Amino acid sequence: MDRNIVTTSRRGLLRSGIGVALAAPFLGLGVGSLARAQGAGGLKPLRFASNASAICLAPVFVAQDHGIFEKHGLEVEIVNFGASTEALLEAIATGKADGGVGMALRWLKALEQGFDVKITAGTHGGCSRLVALQSTGIKELTDLKGKTIGVTDLAAPGKNFFSILLHQAGIDPETDVKWRAFSTDVLEIAAERGEIDAIADGDPRAYFWLNDTPDKYVQIASNLDHGFENRVCCIAGLSGSLVRNDPETARALTRALLEAQDWTVARPEDAAKAFLPQAPKNRSVEDLIAVLKDQTHDHTPTGADLKTEIAQYAEELRAINVFRRSTDPQQFAERVYADVLTA
């Protein structure tokens, strides 16, 4: 099936209890009505850490705008940490926030080092791209040997992911290429000046570079090709203390996030409208829908499926010397994943 065709999965219907296909009756209800619909009693207050500039977070805003959190008994305050993923993850690990969504290849190294965050679900695939100006003549990963790749920082998830792909293509990501860090708004300028030969960055910026100027850029690879078509890139992480001390709330929050993913698949226009205030200037709802449809928001693994994907990433990160050689991928996956849905 074409991944750009949005459908509602059976697993989404099962895990959410109502599912997107049955969500229509709630579209006209306000927050108060939704809260009453699930029964008497107050809502559980939670703080959710967010990087508001990442379109991957659009389903979180859907959950807030369309009462999905409230339907699951939660009153969620979304706290924007800007582009500081480290601050976001530290907030979850220290209990200053109860949960968040972030990129697996940014978070997993921190979790290997002992951050007290438990992964409870995958949220989608896609959003990292490796692009180059067509004038460079670079078209394949093997063309990058001896070249310089620009990233937003030297621990960026794009650097980690494309290092994995380079390694698999027979290129040493530590010695055969150079990595240079530039601020987000300088990356494209650096490419045009010839200071870098390619850019590893995320959506929505990378998507718009390719689609706004199709005669200027070429996509070399993404995290939806080279065997990663069915791999999650973003994950939901909850505070370890929340998972241990309040499993019922951890379950409710995870179910709400997964239902928001299903809603985004069925109603991408809602997700685009929810994200629009955070989007780059002069972007339309239709622009954002196109980005969301280019990602796989219907790929939301949990349980054994997610543990398998985490272990695969751990093995790949170990191969490129990001993880310690002594780390056992299977044991790591068992340690950082928490099954809050069936516990």
| Residues in a beta bridge with 47 | 77
User: Token match 């069936």: residue?
Assistant: 342
**Are residues 306 and 118 in contact, defined by beta-carbon separation less than 8 angstroms?**
no
Q: What whole-number distance in Å separates Cα of residue 278 and Cα of residue 293?
A: 18
According to the model, what pLDDT value does residue 292 have? 96
According to the model, what pLDDT value does residue 93 have? 87
Q: What whole-number distance in Å separates Cα of residue 180 and Cα of residue 152?
A: 8
Q: What whole-number distance in Å separates Cα of residue 41 and Cα of residue 283?
A: 41
- pLDDT truncated to tens, each residue of the chain (343 aa)? 343 333 334 344 434 443 444 343 333 333 333 333 443 358 999 999 887 778 888 999 999 999 999 999 999 999 887 656 777 888 898 888 999 998 999 999 999 999 999 999 999 999 899 999 999 999 999 999 999 999 998 989 999 999 999 999 999 999 999 999 999 889 999 999 999 999 999 998 999 999 998 899 999 999 999 999 999 999 999 999 999 999 999 999 999 999 999 999 999 999 999 999 988 888 999 999 999 999 999 999 999 999 999 999 999 999 999 999 999 999 999 999 999 998 6
**Are residues 62 and 292 in contact, defined by beta-carbon separation less than 8 angstroms?**
no
According to the model, what pLDDT value does residue 51 have? 79
According to the model, what pLDDT value does residue 243 have? 97
Residue 288: phi, psi to the nearest 5?
-70, -35
According to the model, what pLDDT value does residue 56 have? 85
Q: What whole-number distance in Å separates Cα of residue 37 and Cα of residue 70?
A: 10
**Are residues 122 and 301 in contact, defined by beta-carbon separation less than 8 angstroms?**
yes
End-to-end CA distance of the chain: 33
- The per-residue DSSP string of 85-101 comes to HHHHHHHHHTTSSSEEE
